[in-house]
Amino acid sequence: MVRITKVHTGGGDLGETSLVDGSRVPKSDARIEIVGTCDEVNALLGVALMESNRIPETHPDGGERITVRRVKGVCSEALGRLQSELFDLGAELACPPEQIPEYMVLLDQNDSDRLCEEMDAWNEELQPLESFILPTGTGPVAAMHLARTVTRRLERAMVGIKDEMRPLTLQYVNRLSDWLFILTRWVSFRLGEDESLWVPKGKRGSGTADLTRRQNANR
């Protein structure tokens, strides 16, 4: 059981911090950047979970939205589990592999494979992509898109020191970004919402200047 009685120590006042093995490094160290980005992904999953919980479970006429309850159940279980797994990952990444304490519980291949199993299950309901998807949507979908992009940033940072970490950690993060993408598609599908698709340049509008002037003229 973790027991924290004091958060502020003053130990980082001069721009240094400690790794799990006790060694001191600058807060600009590549490993610290990775740990911070992992924490950022975790926080964004918390936002996605909050937005999922906000989806009303009843229709305006008072009828129950069973599909919404099911979506919220999946998001609650999946995102909640991922937040704990990212804490495990962040703790591991805060330490060189040869210095990982024996007591630390590490992610394993089952955790990585579970992401693929869930993606496969969600994909069974989805139509193949015929265009790129814009990173937007209702609350949980937009938040998960943002989490996905930060996960890719985490992966890029990890590649920079990939010889100083277990290969499984990089595999897990690579799969996690795909997992988030598929989950956004599945949530949109289950909620009956259209995905926002990329529009080729020749089919885009000519801008909003004329629209704005027409609105002003009709006020």
In whole angstroms, give the CA distance from residue 18 to residue 157: 19
**Predicted local distance difference test score (pLDDT) of residue 57:** 75
Q: Residue 175's CB: how many other CB atoms inside 10 A?
A: 20
Single-letter amino acid code for the residue at 133: I
Find tokens 């911070």 and name the residue. 36
Q: What is the CATH number of the domain that holds 130?
A: 1.20.1200.10
In whole angstroms, give the CA distance from residue 142 to residue 184: 8
**Predicted local distance difference test score (pLDDT) of residue 208:** 87
Structural domain boundaries enclosing 189 = 31-194
Find tokens 């989950």 and name the residue. 183
Pair 72, 53: CB distance under 8 Å: yes
Q: Tell which residue, 128, 140, 126, has the closest CA to residue 55.
A: 140
Number of domains into which the chain is organized: 1
In whole angstroms, give the CA distance from residue 166 to residue 135: 31
Pair 15, 27: CB distance under 8 Å: yes
Q: Could you tell me if residue 207 is inside a domain?
A: no
Q: Could you tell me if residue 132 is inside a domain?
A: yes
Q: Could you tell me if residue 199 is inside a domain?
A: no
In the predicted model, residues of the chain with pLDDT beneath 70 are 1-23, 25-26, 28, 62
Q: Could you tell me if residue 19 is inside a domain?
A: no
What are the pLDDT digits (tens) for 66-118? Answer: 888 999 999 999 999 999 999 999 999 998 888 888 888 899 999 999 999 99
**Predicted local distance difference test score (pLDDT) of residue 129:** 87
In whole angstroms, give the CA distance from residue 19 to residue 54: 37
Predicted TM-score of the model (pTM)? 0.86
